[in-house]
Amino acid sequence: MIDIKDLTIEKAHDALTKGEYTVRELCQAYLDVIKEKNPDINAYLEIFADVMDQADKAQDKFKNGTATLLTGIPLAMKDNMLIKGKHASAASKILEGYTASYTATALQNLIDQGVVFLGRTNMDEFAMGSSTQTSAYGVTRNPLDRERVPGGSSGGPAAAVAMYGALASLGSETCGSIRQPASFCGLVGFKPTYGAVSRSGIIAMGNSLDQVGPLAHTVRDAEIIHKALVSYDPELDGTTVPMEKRVPAPRTLTKKIAVPAECMKGEGIDTELHEAFLKSLDTFRAMGYTIETVSFPLMPYSLAVYYIVMPAEVSTNLERLDGIRYGYHAKEAKDLNEFYMKTRGEGFGRESRRRIILGSYVLSNDGEYYRRALRLRDAITKELDETFTKYDFVVTPVAPMLPFKLGEKLTDPVAMYLADVFSAPANLSGAPSIALPIGLTATGLPTAVQITAPRWEDDTLFAVGKEFERTNQSK
């Protein structure tokens, strides 16, 4: 009997190397959990038919001595990631029946190491949402409280790991869509420096913001997966940065942490969550850090900037989906214009239509709104960079609210958008950021803290994350 609740990548690798169980047996343990829990949780949209074929290929690597730490490790993936020959829908009706013609670079990096992908998981449609309630294929429930959301848009990948239906998973985020579901499901979620991981083969939402990262039970597992994802991909993703240029700006570490004044005061933050956040600062103090309250004059504008930049890029990216070449298409139309209107009106969900319309408006007026937002984005990035000359990290809650009940905020898009308020600065600036679980509230809901570091200090984040994990567990 494999104790998957105590399993890490390194423990699984050690057991597979010693022959304590096979890759098939390990995968079957997770498939058994999926069979039991997924009908209610709805984390997975599809379990791949070739799981055991993947397992056999991974087992061969152990036999011939080419196995790596990730060989045979069962992972889940988000439904906006492509593997050649497999369906991908981005949880949208408009991509109904679409089969990928190539494999995403990031996923190919893992496949080359012998990872076993169990299946594709649910998400907010085209990654537009913070609750995994906008999927065309039903809502996903939080395994820790099935009446609540798992967060989004990577709610399916988070729920798959939280219900022990995968050892870890791959998510994507445009603004907090890895970190927020990680916090809602009691997991570690890591957003890398922009340009570290190829976006090729990831169905685009916002090109200047989208990133791929891991969700896992431990910081070390997230670190192992991230390091395997990293690559330079100039032919397929021109935004990836050459390896020799991935060098952080010189600075002297001060053992000081900056916390925005609003976070210290608890303005707009759930009371229980704020109490948990303040306690988490004691963990940093136990690690030898000094906590200082800092004013960020421009940071409050981050969410507004994001909701101008992102919809503009969304409307551009999704205009290619017209029902002509693949996916859903309207059955009856008197002319081409009506065909487009019916296909998109019926194929896209409400939230996707809302953001496409908003983005189209943003790009009107010769794109002046978009250009202004980009200028303010640069200013916010500069403000954050200047902060890092005096402080090692910026620490905040991941989101201002705890996991909320299914349907609770669905009719109030502004309330839903506020889930991104603490995530936006890292996404706009391209800085790496990690969400770390800090325990449960008195009512049993998971809480988390978020640490953000300067660009290309991903390894620094993993180091402090592992130290925080050890210190928090020993308290």
Strands 44-47 and 393-397: unpaired
CB 405 within 8 A of CB 145: no
HSE-CB for 134 with a 13 A CA cutoff: 29
Is 78 part of the annotated catalytic residue set?
A: yes
Which residue among 177, 183, 315, 433 is the active-site one? 177
CB 116 within 8 A of CB 58: yes
Choose among 185, 281, 198: nearest CA to 232.
Answer: 198
Instruction: State yes or no: is 63 an active-site residue.
Output: no
Among the listed residues 153, 169, 200, 423, the single catalytic one is 153
Contacts of 388 (CB under 8 A, 6+ apart): 249, 251, 394, 453, 454
What b/e sequence results for 326-349 when a residue is b if at least 16 CB atoms lie within 10 Å of its CB, and e otherwise? ebbbbeeeeeeeebbebbbeebbb
CA pair distance 172, 176, nearest whole angstrom: 9
What is the C-alpha to C-alpha distance for residues 391 and 393, in angstroms, rounded to an integer? 6
CB contact at 8 A, 141 and 40 = yes
Query: Is 84 a residue of the active site?
Result: no
142/171 Cα distance (integer angstroms):
16
Tokens of 312: 């503009």
How would DSSP label each residue in 242-308? PGGG--PPP----SEEEEEHHHHHTTTS-HHHHHHHHHHHHHHHHTTPEEEEE--SSGGGHHHHHHH
CA separation, residue 335 to residues 339, 340, 346, 347 (Å): 6, 9, 16, 18
Q: Which member of 37, 78, 86, 191 is catalytic?
A: 78
Can you read off the two tokens belonging to residue 280? 């988490």
Q: Report the Cα 432 to chain-centroid distance in Å.
A: 12
| Buried/exposed code over 228-248 (b: 16+ C-beta within 10 A; e: otherwise) | bbbbbbeeebebbbeeeebeb
Catalytic site residues? Answer: 78, 153, 177
